[in-house]
Structure 1
Amino acid sequence: MAAKFILKMSGEQFMFNLQSANGQTVLTSERYTTKAAATSGIASVKKNAADDRMYEMTGSGQRFNLKAGNGQVIGGSQNYASGAAAKDGMDAVKRAAAEALVDAQT
């Protein structure tokens, strides 16, 4: 299975999850008011995921956010059991994002 962005509705808004090749969700987006904005968010993940400077650790180092060049949070991770596991999650985002296809379910 290839990595993919799953673009879907959440209530009246749009959001996406990045799933790694093993089917695990490694990044969940913020909510967007339009499908076009969510699609732009996916493009921003693809552009910024490889850059370590775009990540920030949160929640006592057991979560992370990925930010765009303008400092806005594009998406965040789940809670991990340790900082090392969170760093593994960041690495999974880095590996998956660039080549991930978009599965638009809207």
Structure 2
Amino acid sequence: MFEIFKDKSGAFRFRLKAKNGQIILASEGYTQKTNCQKGVSSVKRNSKNEDRFELKQSTNKKWFFNLKAGNGQIVGTSELYDNETNAKNGVKSVMNNAPTAETVDLSK
């Protein structure tokens, strides 16, 4: 499920949750809700293509991934994982959950 919400600074953000409630992808902050909704649509489209995921290792040796749109812009970032295998499983989870996930607007 995608959740659209307002953060403490008033920016709109979305997060994708797996069926177990764990957050598997989160967005940047958007100034307008419509742009946040477009971000959700972009994740739904781009998550079908494994080539749009970029695995990375952070400076503290944790793993994460970014999901990029066709233009190369990052549309979502994962949580940090202890190892590369878990990060790859996170990618699979986004690929399985995002395309058909419902969207709930918590910003109202």
TM range (shorter): over 0.9
1:45 pairs, out of 19, 43, 46, with: 43
Q: TM-score scaled to structure 1, two decimals? A: 0.93
Question: How far does the alpha carbon of each residue in 1:34-77 deviate from its partner, in whole angstroms, 9 at most, with x for none?
Answer: 00000000000000001011011112571100001111000101
Instruction: Report the Cα distance in structure 1 between the residues aligned to 2:50 and 2:96, rounded to whole angstroms.
Output: 12
Q: Indicate yes or no: 2:83 matched with 1:82.
A: yes
Instruction: Report the Cα distance in structure 1 between the residues aligned to 2:102 and 2:82, rounded to whole angstroms.
Output: 29
State the percentage of identical aligned residues.
37
| Structure 2 residue runs without a partner (length 5+) | none
Look up the equivalent residue of 1:7 and give its one-letter code. Answer: I
| SS of structure 1 residue aligned to 2:4 | strand
Q: Indicate yes or no: 2:41 matched with 1:31.
A: no
Give the root-mean-square deviation of aligned CA atoms.
Answer: 1.1
| Structure 1 residue runs without a partner (length 5+) | none
Counterpart in the other structure of 1:8? 5
Q: TM-score scaled to structure 2, two decimals? A: 0.91
Q: How many residues align?
A: 103
| SS of structure 2 residue aligned to 1:39 | helix
